[in-house]
């Protein structure tokens, strides 16, 4: 069983702005980001008696939610970036929605690359054994027969 350690990495954009991002998301942060890019929709909207709903992902919000989930803080070269530290996901989403589109896409590209790099590293970690197998075999087979035989011979 493995738990996500709260490591942070710094990414530098071409503009000189820096992002402080989570190295990896844990399952709770991943779930929260999926919730932020989906909504509940009635299955049968024309039937007022049917209250059945399903969760539907809005593809336009997936990148926004992933960026907000990874982003811890940032600094801008011109010093105008509002603080993100201590904000919940909804607070970070609200601030991200005020960015210039080009700036958001640059941040998203940097975080996407970071996430891909971490996924590759995690994949390599899974290939390595976590510990040496030091357990004894269930029963030992002697290398040669010693003592009396059961009497069965070919």
Residue 29 counted as domain residue? yes
Q: Pick the residue with more confidence: 134 or 52?
A: 52
DSSP letter at 2?
-
User: What domain count does the chain have?
Assistant: 1
- What does the DSSP assignment read for 86-137? T--HHHHHHHHTTS-HHHHHHHHHHHHHHHHHHHHHHHHHHHS-SS---PPP
Mean pLDDT, all residues of the chain: 86
- The answer to whether residue 2 sits within a structural domain is no
Classify residue 83: in a domain, yes or no: yes
Percent of the chain with pLDDT over 70: 84
Residue 61 belongs to a domain? yes
**116 to 36, 52, 111, 123, 132: CA distances (angstroms):** 21, 37, 8, 10, 29
Identify the domain containing residue 27 by its residue range.
8-126
Helix 27-36 / helix 59-70 crossing angle, nearest 10 deg: 140
Over residues 126-136, the pLDDT tens digits come to 887 766 555 55
Does the reported pTM lie above 0.85? no
pLDDT digits (tens, 9 = 90+) for 83-125: 999 999 999 999 999 999 999 999 999 999 999 999 888 888 7
Q: pLDDT-based confidence at 82, cuts 50/70/90?
A: very high
pLDDT mean over 32-54: 92
pLDDT above 80 for 8: yes
């Amino acid at each position: 069983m493995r738990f996500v350690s709260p490591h942070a990495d710094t990414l530098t954009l071409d503009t000189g702005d820096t992002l402080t991002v989570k190295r990896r998301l844990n399952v709770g942060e991943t779930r929260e980001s999926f919730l932020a890019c989906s909504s509940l929709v009635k299955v049968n909207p024309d039937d007022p008696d049917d209250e059945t709903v399903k969760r539907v992902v809005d593809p336009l919000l997936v990148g926004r939610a992933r960026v907000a989930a990874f982003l811890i803080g940032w600094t801008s070269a011109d010093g105008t970036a509002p603080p993100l530290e201590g904000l919940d996901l909804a607070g970070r989403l609200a601030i991200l929605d005020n960015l210039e589109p080009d700036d958001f896409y640059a941040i998203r590209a940097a975080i996407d690359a970071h996430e891909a790099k971490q996924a590759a590293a995690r994949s390599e970690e899974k290939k390595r054994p976590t510990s040496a197998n030091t357990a004894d075999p269930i029963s030992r087979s002697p290398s040669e027969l010693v003592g009396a035989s059961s009497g069965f011979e070919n």
